[in-house]
Amino acid sequence: MSGVATLRRTPTDPELDHAVDVLRLLADRTRLAILAMLDGTEMSVSDIAEALDRPTPAVSQHLAKLRAGHLVTTRRHGRTIYYGQPDEHVAALVTNVLHHTEHALYATPPHHG
């Protein structure tokens, strides 16, 4: 194998159900973009909304869904809430799906450049 970790057992039904729920959350452009932006950093909802050129209330709703799915963490500083990724698994999931997409779309994927 090429250094990629493999499952050594069949996932349980609850594990598969949770994985499907996570993939459903990722199957939205705004939520995927949010998670990609949060790789290695924290941002406030207003900073995320500005970066995506989206209304703050819409971004807030997406963040609420990501938070309910345990795909973002929150940290309060004064009156501002900062969002981040909870662990390296979420970061790897987002990075891998975007890298896979680059391989599908480009002869030389940008992440290889």
Decide: helix, strand or coil at residue 12.
coil
Per-residue tokens: 51: 């970066």
Confidence band for 92, pLDDT divided at 50, 70 and 90: very high
pLDDT at 1: 44
**In the beta sheet, which residues pair with residue 44?**
82
Range of the domain at 41: 14-112
Per-residue tokens: 81: 């809430």
Mean pLDDT over each residue of the chain, to the nearest integer: 94
Does the residue 38 lie in any domain? Answer: yes
Does the residue 48 lie in any domain? Answer: yes
- Whole-model pTM: value is 0.89
Does the residue 18 lie in any domain? Answer: yes
Does the residue 78 lie in any domain? Answer: yes
Give the model confidence (pLDDT) of 29-78 as tens digits: 999 999 999 999 999 999 999 999 999 999 999 999 999 999 999 999 99
